[in-house]
Chain A
Amino acid sequence: MRVVLAAASVVVLAILPMFAPWLQFVLTLAIAKGFAALGVAILLRAGLISIGHAMFFAASAYGVAFLAARGIGDFASLLVLSVVIAALTGVIVGAFLVRYRAIFFAMLNLAVSMVFYSLFAKLYGITGGSDGMAVPIPSVFGMVLSEPAFKDVLFYLSLVLMVVIGLGIHRYLDSPLGHALSAVHTNEVRLEYLGIPVWAVLLIAYVVSAALAGLGGAIAGFAIGRVVPDFAFWTASGHLVLVAVLGGIGGVPGAFIGALFLELLHTAAVTVTDAWNLIVGAALIAVIMFMPKGLYGLFAREKGAER
């Protein structure tokens, strides 16, 4: 039943832009942010809040722009390399941060991300400063495409990746490693006594989450056609946490539901009112107070659990 619902949602997403072409950009961006929010949600399962994941989003988007400027023009290569850049950044940052918990973890992620932000903004010669860098339209398997054609490719590829990678992450979270990750939240002492190295469980999760944020950043970079330092600004990281909590961390679809909901709400709200932030704030309060499991909680059931 839930599989049918999920499949139907994906089909609806796939055909929506045929009726409302302006939606394609909105949906592409929503999926991009959904990937990044999924990264944040993975860490949230361990009880760790990162207010800095926009750094990986930005690192990868800048990676695309930088590599494109150095002559790499192939879409697939750019996508893969930029995600690798984000993952490697995740290894380095994560190696330092996974020993921290609670507010320290949150603040250190924020601090590191602001270092990234400053570097993107200040290293004018490399990053273009606050003007950012252009992301040109890449070739797709050797084909040179028009901009609308590329944006079609980008959108449908994002959709496919959402399903494929979403399933992969679902399996990860359902594996012993994924269960150990949630267990960090409830009992690190017991994990240690099971012989499980908590730091390794967290580092793997951190790198996976950085790679997801990176994938989102690369897609966003391609969709927008430009990367700017604001990609890494702390409010962008905060936005990802908001999306993850709004969508719900109980399952992989949550992050994407949250992102789609917010992007669509944003699009609808700005056309009728300038009280966008008020609406988002109210939505978030409502979710936190009445839907502790997020929007995803409306669809999901605990598997065979008796309370």
Chain B
Amino acid sequence: MQPILEAKDLHVAFNGVKAADGVSLSIHDGEFLAIIGPNGSGKTTVLNLCTGYVRPKSGSVHLDGQDITRLAPRAIARLGVARAFQIPQLFSDQRVIDNMMLSLAAKDGLWTMMRPLETEARRAEAEALLGLVGLADDKNRISNTLPEGHRKLLDIAVALALKPRLLLLDEPTSGVSALERFPLMEALMGALRQRQITALFVEHDMDVVARYANRVLVWNAGNIMAEGHPDEVFKDQRVLQSVVGVA
């Protein structure tokens, strides 16, 4: 079966630091693929490469067999890839609900100049998604007044609102309190399954990875040092040393 996303031999360096040093990976329909690895090992970089935000020096990225290596982020987004960021990327002086509705509108009706952003349908859909991530009570707040953890959740909800086929999540549970972490992941995974969204998530919390990932890639110094089912990977002595020990 053809993978949804396939990266081959990606190379990129910043000031001599090899942030991606021959990365190849593929993700298949319906998978929940986790990426773990120490700080600065290039996890975020691979998301940047796969979404057109950073151009690789060499290598390629294919989405459903189509070469997207040189496409802009907005073109890749329109092909059905959405992203939630390590540092939330929000419209900080707009209300939470407006952030959501703009994302919904981006999907269906941006080019109507004379109809309001806020429609019954859009509001209802936005509220449902906010409820899913536990932000129902915050909908009328200006988004930069939210605590960091809630900004993170909003960022995920905004990405979900695009109804992507593939969702890339960069440390979705960082900044989210330990108590809220599992309820959030439960809700998120339920929504992904229900909407048949494939997901790739960078994650520091090993318990979260062990519980939700079908497969895990272990990053080290710009490349993948180990790969497999979480149960096996977490037995690997090298992995324990380089990642789990640090994280």
Contacts and interface: CB of A to CB of B under 8 A. Distances in A.
A171 B110 contact: no
B115 A194 contact: no
Interface residues of A, number: 30
A307 B115 CA distance: 27
A182 B74 contact: no
A168 B95 CA distance: 23
A194 B106 contact: yes
B14 interface: no
B94 A186 contact: yes
A195 B90 contact: no
Given A182-B91, A190-B158, A304-B140, A196 B106 contact: yes
Contacts of B105: 176, 179
A299 interface: no
B116 A195 contact: no
Interface residues of B, number: 42
Given A187-B89, A195-B162, A305-B140, A179 B102 contact: yes
B82 A176 contact: no
B93 to A, nearest CB: 6
Nearest to B97: A304
Interface string B55-94: 0000000000000000011110110001101000111111
Nearest to A189: B89
Nearest to A190: B89
Given A192-B77, A195-B106, A196-B74, A182 B113 contact: no
Given A177-B113, A187-B89, A192 B102 contact: no
B144 to A, nearest CB: 9
Contacts of A197: 74
Contacts of B101: 176, 179
A6 B38 CA distance: 59
Nearest to B82: A193
A180 B74 contact: no
A177 B74 contact: no
Contact of B116 (A175, A182, A187): A175
B223 interface: no
A132 interface: no
A304 B85 CA distance: 28
Contact of B113 (A172, A186, A187, A306): A172
Interface string B132-174: 0000000011100100000000000011001000000000000
A193 B169 CA distance: 13
A187 B90 CA distance: 6
Contacts of A172: 113-114
Interface string B112-138: 111111100000000000000000000
Nearest to A188: B89
A245 B113 CA distance: 24
A183 B102 contact: yes
B92 A196 contact: no
B203 to A, nearest CB: 20
A174 B117 contact: yes
A177 B142 contact: no
B52 to A, nearest CB: 9
Given A186-B92, A186-B94, A187-B92, A193 B116 contact: no
B176 to A, nearest CB: 20
A195 B102 contact: no
Contacts of B107: 195
B220 interface: no
Interface string A187-212: 10111111111100000100000000
A192 B73 contact: yes
A175 B75 CA distance: 22
A306 B140 contact: yes
B95 to A, nearest CB: 6
A178 interface: yes
Contact of B110 (A196, A305, A307): A196
A-B pairs with lowest CB-CB distance, top 3? A176-B105, A195-B77, A194-B106
7 contacts: A180-B106, A187-B90, A190-B89, A193-B159, A194-B77, A194-B103, A307-B142
Given A171-B114, A306-B140, 7 more contacts: A172-B113, A174-B118, A176-B115, A185-B93, A192-B74, A193-B159, A195-B74
